[in-house]
Amino acid sequence: MNQSVIEFQASCALPTEWATFELHAFKEVSSGKEHLAITLGQVGASEPVLARIHSECMTGDTLFSLRCDCGPQLKSAFEKIAKEGRGILLYLRQEGRGIGLVNKIKAYQLQEKGADTVQANRLLGFKDDQRNYDVCKGMLEHFQIRSLKLLTNNPDKIIAIEELGFEVLRTEHHVGMNPFNANYLETKEVKMGHLLSLSEVLGSKD
């Protein structure tokens, strides 16, 4: 596996409504992409650290779209790390499961014509999920982290981080279900293997 080289750039305080975190900037050497790590407490201790690896979602994280569960997942991760008093959130620039913002909007347009999220990606010529987590290795090693309690419903993400050499203990992260994203979440569970409760997803359609 070709590991992405990533370099630390700078850090500063990040005061939020939940806690004052530390914000750390990294740059991916090959692409120039800029990624973020947000930490709280001594994350490099020997015991597993509560962690969230979150891919950028402009529509969900910033524009409060209800078409996905990204915004609620991001907010919940901050809340859970603050409550724990120790944790890390990696914010990766991988918009639209790696297809980019404009292509994601094209995919939404196809979904409005009847395609599901997987079919839309394929119609645009992309894989179901284009994301790559190799940059996480250098970011986690920067903080001397070896073991994570990972907030995720995505088994592929767990496998990817384990293949990078880290111990991963899954912590479920079920938030943000609503009538606008029920079909989207159902597709992720049925076609992409995400670890969701189908009965909860179907119930959110009522």
Please give the Cα distance from 203 to 206 (Å, whole number). 6
Candidate list 61, 69, 116, 129, residue with the active-site label: 129
CB 194 within 8 A of CB 201: no
Candidate list 131, 134, 146, 206, residue with the active-site label: 131
Q: Judge whether 131 counts as a catalytic residue.
A: yes
Q: Which residues contact 97 (CB under 8 A, 6 or more apart)?
A: 55, 121, 128, 129, 130, 131
Nearest partner of 135 among 42, 13, 2, judged by Cα: 2
Q: Judge whether 146 counts as a catalytic residue.
A: no
The residues annotated as belonging to the active site are 129, 131
